Structure 1
Amino acid sequence: MLDQLVRRPRFLLLEGRTPIQRLIRLEQSLGCHGCPPIYVKRDDLMGVGGGGNKLRKLEFLIGEALDQGCDTFITTGARQSNHARLSAAAAARAGLSCELVLTDTVARYDEAYLRNGNVLLDDLFGATVLRRPGDVDAFAIAEERAVLLSAEGRRAYVVGSGGSSPLGCLGYAVCAEEIMAQEAELGLRFSRIIVPNGSSGTHAGLAAGLKAAGDEPSRVESFTVLAPIEKARAVTNELARRALGVIDRASTFVASDIVVTDGQLGDGYGVPTEAMLEAVRLVARSEGLLLDPVYGGKAFAGLIAAIRNGSWRSEGPVLFVMTGGLPGLFAYEPALR
């Protein structure tokens, strides 16, 4: 499978594999006997733009943009979008101009949210930012910008929120093989691979990669942090199906292959919850690791809840994919304080 994927245009943004580490101090802090060992895959440890899961997707998206002769990369997201920040950084590395259509999806207007975190970094990386209300069709605006640039003799590559197109998902299909190789080296097999579910691309890519490799895609479980549960499941199923079609047209998913869980969304996307705040503080104070407040914090809160209520008791080790988003902590300073 990997040989097929690497024949696609790809702009390398990672320097080798990201490590897998066990959280022994966290396990001790939870004080749960018979609970699974907890491991993390450090996809927050990537050099470009402050790191994060979107770089895996951007390797393929930027690669295709360059292959098509584009000079501008346009994408969309919320005001504090991690994908937007990493798109700006990756575009700068690739020598492309970058335009971001950012919407006020989260009803927050404090100074930290409006000016700090990813917002600060978008500007630092040289992106042109178009700010719009939360109820507009950001992707349509991005496509309109591409048409206008074309009239000026330029060529733009447009991708939607999170970089979660079937092509972008290939980044986490490759990651699935990476995880399996690391399992073999560690001499273990993860019973669950936990990820946050926003635009669904991380889950869909991992599921497609595992399925194409003859493994069990149901090992991947995501906690929705953006959409209501039924919509999150539907979007993840469809995106995983399309991503698998890019890799291996002979394989198909069954309904039980895609596992999306609710219970951590709270009052909505980007809205802090007490469980998220506890998870961020607990991981920071037991392991010195930083979860973001929008994605990883809520998903890790789901992991903690499952361990505390005993539903994962006597299972094999659990892997949590740390998807990055550190700048978001600074944007959520009032909530964390």
Structure 2
Amino acid sequence: MNLDRFPRVDLGGSPTPLHAAPRLGEALGIPNLLLKRDDVHPLGIGGNKLRKLEFLLGAAITAGADTVITFGALQTNHGRQTAAACAKLGLRCELVLTAKVPRDGDAYERSGNVALDHLFGANVHICADGLETGRTYDRLITEAEVEGRKVATFPVGGSDGVGALGYVAAAQELAAQLTERGITRARVIAPHASGGTSAGLVVGTAPYDWLTLDIACVSHPVDEALDNLADLTVAAAGLLGSEPPSLDGLHITDGTIGPGYGIPTAETWDAVRLFGRTEGIALDPVYTGKVGAALVRWAAEGQFAAGEHVVFLHTGGLPGLYGYAPEFTDAVSG
């Protein structure tokens, strides 16, 4: 899977570290637990969307774009990382954010990723619903045309075929890191939300029959996630000129979503505390906290063989803790 023919910008930070997590592993009964630290990328407080943006922005700049428009929930990590990448590259960034998570209050509406969006120079447009989101997007396109600017539009989460190439590259990177350690078989724990990360991993791990995936849904139930995943794997594989891998037998569950996207559960906060107090690592309450909860549950259910190497993909999201400040404070106090 040669990625060199695709336009790509270098946002720095690769390869991200692969760390052993012995104290967390001991607590979970997984002695060979590793953390793939995509949260420590040096740009924009890190996160998985930066891998997607290398390819998305590479294509956009090649096409002559000077303005990027993208979408997300109010506390979107993707929006924050897009704003940071655009600041680094000198592009105009328009974030069209929809208040689709049932939350309010000063912390959620002004802190966390929202404050960072402004810090990184994005123009932030907050919309009440999908109808207003559509109207705002149409207005921004019209304004760009009048002003002679060329727009690149990225989907929610940067999740399309091009964005998924970022995690094809990540799979290759991880396989090389594991091989250097002499590891010949491993399971990778990853999230599914907008789908680009998991789709890229499905395609990227296909040549490595010694790498298997365990995917925790954090926003959509399994049936919807599989439909989304199928579309994105077809798109990414098509760009690469390869057959899309079969999803038959893929371990994907939605057991730790809770009431819905962006709504943390008691299990979520338990996982946040556990990672923090054993390894000094922060999870977020929207994505990694729910995947962490899935890891805890799977370990308790005995889904990992004795001595098996397990890699937890940390996709970032630290600023989200501050968007959920009241609950976060309650969860870690005492």
If the TM-score is normalised by the length of the shorter chain, which range does it land in?
over 0.9
Q: CA deviation at 1:46?
A: 0.6
- 1:22 maps to 20
Partners of 1:156 and 1:186 in 2: CA distance: 44
Partners of 1:104 and 1:6 in 2: CA distance: 38
One-letter code aligned to 2:294: G
SS of 2:47's equivalent? coil
Partners of 2:182 and 2:47 in 1: CA distance: 26
The equivalences for 1:77-92 within 5 A come to: 77-92=72-87
SS of 2:176's equivalent? helix
Partners of 1:94 and 1:139 in 2: CA distance: 27
One-letter code aligned to 1:233: L
- 2:49 maps to 54
1:314 aligns with 2:306: yes
Contact 1:275–1:298 at 8 Å: present in 2 too?
yes
Deviations 1:121-153 (A, max 9, x none): 001111011111244474674355224311221
1:241 aligns with 2:239: no
Find 2:271's aligned residue among 260, 267, 279.
279
Partners of 1:271 and 1:289 in 2: CA distance: 21
Which is further off, 56-65 or 14-23? 14-23
Q: Percent identity?
A: 42
- Normalised by the length of structure 2, the TM-score is 0.94
- 1:200 maps to 195
Q: CA deviation at 1:190?
A: 4.4
Contact 1:207–1:258 at 8 Å: present in 2 too?
no
Q: CA deviation at 1:225?
A: 0.7
Find 1:289's aligned residue among 281, 295, 302.
281
CA change 1:137–1:241 in 2 (3 A) is farther
Partners of 1:90 and 1:236 in 2: CA distance: 26
SS of 2:39's equivalent? coil
Q: CA deviation at 1:315?
A: 6.1
Gaps of 5+ in 1: none
- 2:71 maps to 76
Partners of 1:263 and 1:315 in 2: CA distance: 25
Find 1:223's aligned residue among 209, 216, 221.
216
CA change 1:201–1:13 in 2 (3 A) is same
SS of 2:40's equivalent? coil
Q: CA deviation at 1:216?
A: 3.6
SS of 1:49's equivalent? coil
Find 1:153's aligned residue among 144, 148, 159.
148
CA change 1:92–1:117 in 2 (3 A) is same
Q: CA deviation at 1:259?
A: 3.4
Partners of 1:315 and 1:136 in 2: CA distance: 52
One-letter code aligned to 1:324: G
Which is further off, 10-19 or 275-284? 10-19
Partners of 2:240 and 2:133 in 1: CA distance: 29
Contact 2:203–2:244 at 8 Å: present in 1 too?
no
The CA RMSD measured in Å over matched residues stands at 1.7
CA change 1:230–1:137 in 2 (3 A) is farther
Aligned length: 329
Q: CA deviation at 1:257?
A: 5.7
Which is further off, 317-326 or 5-14? 5-14
Partners of 1:139 and 1:216 in 2: CA distance: 43
Contact 1:279–1:297 at 8 Å: present in 2 too?
yes
Partners of 1:330 and 1:175 in 2: CA distance: 28
Gaps of 5+ in 2: none
Partners of 1:155 and 1:134 in 2: CA distance: 26
The equivalences for 1:133-152 within 5 A come to: 133-136=128-131, 138=133, 141-142=136-137, 144-152=139-147
Q: CA deviation at 1:228?
A: 1.8
- 1:107 maps to 102
Q: CA deviation at 1:287?
A: 0.4
Q: CA deviation at 1:8?
A: 1.5
Partners of 1:271 and 1:301 in 2: CA distance: 13
Contact 2:202–2:245 at 8 Å: present in 1 too?
no
